[in-house]
Amino acid sequence: MTERAPGQPSGYIRDHGVHPPLDSPGYRSTALRHPKRDLVLLPHMLTEVTAPLLGEDRVGESDNDLTRQHADEPLGQRIIVHGRVRDSDGRPVTHTLVEIWQANAAGRYRHVADNWPAPLDPNFTGVGRTMTDAQGRYRFVTIQPGAYPWRNHDNAWRPAHIHFSLFGRAFTQRLVTQMYFPGDPLFFQDPIWNSIPDPGARERLVARYDHDATEPEWALAYEWDIVLRGREATPFESEVDDE
């Protein structure tokens, strides 16, 4: 049901049947991150809605191909991830910035806080960006990410996933979500996945294997559409998650 929850300011509406609650006890980090006081809507002044401009000039030639950002090829299964960004009425969201970040094939991020004993890949940074085209389409070439342990609960492993960040033209228009892969055996114990109340909404986070877009002897393909609003909305995180 879409309604204004206690503590939320007028003008802020969150669909509690789709999006995770701000405080999800199963996901231990939310105890430290969720708001402890009533939210306050700050007015958007000229700076918030016009700067910085996040457009085509922010995207480099190889930013959408994470396998070509270094001198040599990264290790792992090469994949293509593509889809469309749409609004609630099905209209394409055009010329908007899409960013991704992910673990490498061994399940490790290139990040100072990630030091579990899995190898780093010198030819894989795990970060990419692109702009949607006139039909709202995006496309990345990357490496299938690995699962990794985290200390949320006993023997906890995150399912393989890719983080997505969508911008309008400024930081105040940012949305963050995750894409999962079909048939992952770790869904059952992942509190981020299970914090989404509606099982149907969870399934909208799972990409579809796309054999038609798979390139012979080169890369498997997955299709994943992102819907920003409405009944078919993609569940979004309430905050940036580094894991």
pLDDT digits (tens, 9 = 90+) for 37-46: 887 877 877 7
CA-angle at 80, arms to 79 and 85, nearest 5°? 140
Specify if 1 maps to a domain.
no
CB half-sphere exposure, 117, CA atoms < 13 A: 0
Specify if 117 maps to a domain.
yes
Q: Provide the pLDDT confidence category of residue 242 given band limits of 50, 70 and 90.
A: very low
pLDDT at residue 46, as a whole number: 76
Q: What percent of the chain has pLDDT over 90?
A: 56
pLDDT in tens, 194-214: 999 888 999 999 999 999 999
Specify if 211 maps to a domain.
yes
| Residue-number span of the structural domain to which 149 is assigned | 28-228
33 vs 123, which has greater pLDDT? 123
Please give the Cα distance from 203 to 70 (Å, whole number): 34
Specify if 6 maps to a domain.
no
Specify if 3 maps to a domain.
no
pLDDT at residue 3, as a whole number: 46
pLDDT at residue 142, as a whole number: 98
pLDDT at residue 241, as a whole number: 45
Specify if 198 maps to a domain.
yes
Considering 19, 82, 163, 204, which one is annotated as catalytic?
163
Considering 19, 27, 78, 109, which one is annotated as catalytic?
109
Specify if 4 maps to a domain.
no
Tokens of 152: 């949320």
Total count of domains within the chain: 1
Specify if 149 maps to a domain.
yes
CB half-sphere exposure, 42, CA atoms < 13 A: 7
- Judge whether 158 counts as a catalytic residue: yes
CATH number where 160 lies: 2.60.130.10
- Beta strands, E only, the chain: 2-3, 14-15, 78-86, 97-101, 127-131, 137-143, 148-149, 157-158, 161-166, 175-180, 208-209, 220-223, 226-227
83 vs 23, which has greater pLDDT? 83
Sequence-ordered list of residues with C-beta below 8 angstroms from that of 220, at least 6 positions apart, any chain: 77, 78, 79, 80, 144, 209, 214
Q: In the block, which residue shows the tokens 């990040």?
A: 111
- Judge whether 148 counts as a catalytic residue: yes
Fill in the amino acid letter for 11: G
Considering 161, 180, 204, 222, which one is annotated as catalytic?
161
Q: What percent of the chain has pLDDT over 70?
A: 83
CB half-sphere exposure, 83, CA atoms < 13 A: 19
236 vs 123, which has greater pLDDT? 123
Considering 19, 78, 108, 158, which one is annotated as catalytic?
158
Please give the Cα distance from 50 to 63 (Å, whole number): 24
- Judge whether 109 counts as a catalytic residue: yes
pLDDT in tens, 183-199: 999 999 999 999 998 88
pLDDT at residue 15, as a whole number: 64
pLDDT at residue 125, as a whole number: 96
52-55 contact pairs (CB < 8 A, 24+): 52/170, 52/171, 53/169, 53/170, 54/97, 54/167, 54/168, 54/169, 54/170, 54/171, 55/95, 55/97, 55/131, 55/169
Burial of 171 (0-12, 13-18, 19+ CB in 10 A): exposed
pLDDT at residue 54, as a whole number: 63
**pLDDT at 99 exceeding the cut of 90:** yes
- Judge whether 44 counts as a catalytic residue: no
Considering 27, 138, 148, 180, which one is annotated as catalytic?
148
Q: Provide the pLDDT confidence category of residue 57 given band limits of 50, 70 and 90.
A: confident
